Structure 1
Amino acid sequence: MKPAPFSYYRATSIDDAITALSGADGMAAVLAGGQSLVPMLNLRLSPVDHLIDLRSIAALSRQEETPEAICYGALTTHAAFEDGAVPDGTNGLMRYAASHIAYRAVRNRGTLGGALALADPAADWLTTAVALDASVTLTGPDGQRCLAITDFVVGPYYTQIAEDEIIDSVVVPRRSAAERWGYYKVAPKVGEYAKSLAVALIDPAKASARLVIGAWSDVPLVLKAGASALLEGVKQHDLAVIVQNELDLKMPSLSPAERRLHTSSVVRAAEQARS
């Protein structure tokens, strides 16, 4: 299939893009990497009247560093992370996660901002961003606003982006050099979306740990009881019991098979972080 007719506009600046969005007569969408939007347009699952291309806006591909965090422009590609072409304050976690997104052709064009804007529960960046406590900066006619990633994503494929806003950047706090991480993804085959995805972070020096499970029917879930058990150093079997009980409490809609799958992913990510 081919998309329904739409107008095309290549924005030259962030202000130009906002003006085009605000003045659009009908439904408008922005094009970042296009790796999800273009197929949906072709299948007519996401019809638009106006398509505004952001790819010529250099400011959206910037990176800015401070001692506390790194700011990535929304158009920073997955490949830029994978290749180490941009700074990384996560001890390699973002580089690893990027390298496991789809296929290299997709990673060459797909963007961090585009992936978060889609808010697909099975996408690698969403779960990773929640684990890293990232925040998203939105720009619109009234200026900028910054939202924690857990506030930005309201539900599957549903975010706080207003119709006349775009993602300007994503801010990721720097992690301690002593922090270790684990990343475990279950997919039908290489390049496919995950059926289960878990990220574990543990920093004994700071007495902190974080466990996040994604790729289920809702937004990524932070497992606080599991993180506490990970920090305490409980054995693998005991950690699995604690995680499963927390999943039962917070994700009651899971089938027994899904619960076992997600428990296994979390425990494997945790064991990677402890190894």
Structure 2
Amino acid sequence: MAPRRQGYTGKPCLALFMLIAMLYFAVPESIDICRDCSCFGTLQHVSCKGIFRVGAQLKHTFKDVAFRGLDLNVPHSKLSPDLFQNRTGTIHLDLSENGLKFIDDGLFTILRQVKSLALSLNALTAIPVFHNLTSLQELYLRFNNIRSIGSNLKAHAPKLNELMLDHNRITFVQGDHFPEELENLGLSFNKITSIDRGSLSGLLQLQEVDLTGNLISQISSGSFLLPVLKTVILNNNRISEISKDAFRPELDKIYLNNNRLSELGNISCIPSLKGLYVSYQIAVSAAYRIL
């Protein structure tokens, strides 16, 4: 029999146990919404990457802490309207890559403080109705199946200044469908066939528009005559003709790479132009740049 150590009382083990218990109970509980939730910083950002439990509520209230971001990876096609009933202070909401096909009209109604909303990489066929999102400034709807824009955004998201609709199936754009405060518009890799004077009309704050990878063959007169527009991106289209006075004289940059232009017309005479990019044309093989 091994000799018993003298003076051993077990107190160190007890102290270690108490320390572990204190640390365990000091850690804030996870949100009961998915299997794998993690909190960062002072609970200003919550990331849920596990399996969403349909109909589950955000049971932990964290009354003294306001969530500033909520990132849910939800592998379901529909969300319950009461999902955010206890999260009215959410400012940044990311619901990307969740296979969402439909969003209930009332889902975001109580999120009146949301400034940034991401719904990219889903299966939406239309822009959701955003009732009461009067604080919304940034909306990301990339990689969906949206076919038209409609008037929903102008009516319910009047403060929107950044709208990303890249990689959808939009065929037609009309300026009076967009919020008037829009500054940055992404429409690349859609199925837009033409741009004319009415396509962006009324967007008096628009500074940049990206129409890369569409089916545009002609730029009509007045298409980009907007008062503060600085950058127009039209790469990878089928443009063979650009009408006179199509662009604002104060433009900074025009991107026309990979089109079908045989001449530049009056584009190169824009006095304020800092960059003109027209490489890989059928008849214009060299890249031009004005500094």
Instruction: Settle same-fold status: TM greater than 0.5.
Output: no
Greater share of helix: 1
Q: TM-score, normalised by structure 1?
A: 0.29
Structure index of larger Rg: 2
Higher relative contact order (CA 8 A, sep 6+): 1
Greater share of strand: 1
Q: TM-score, normalised by structure 2?
A: 0.28
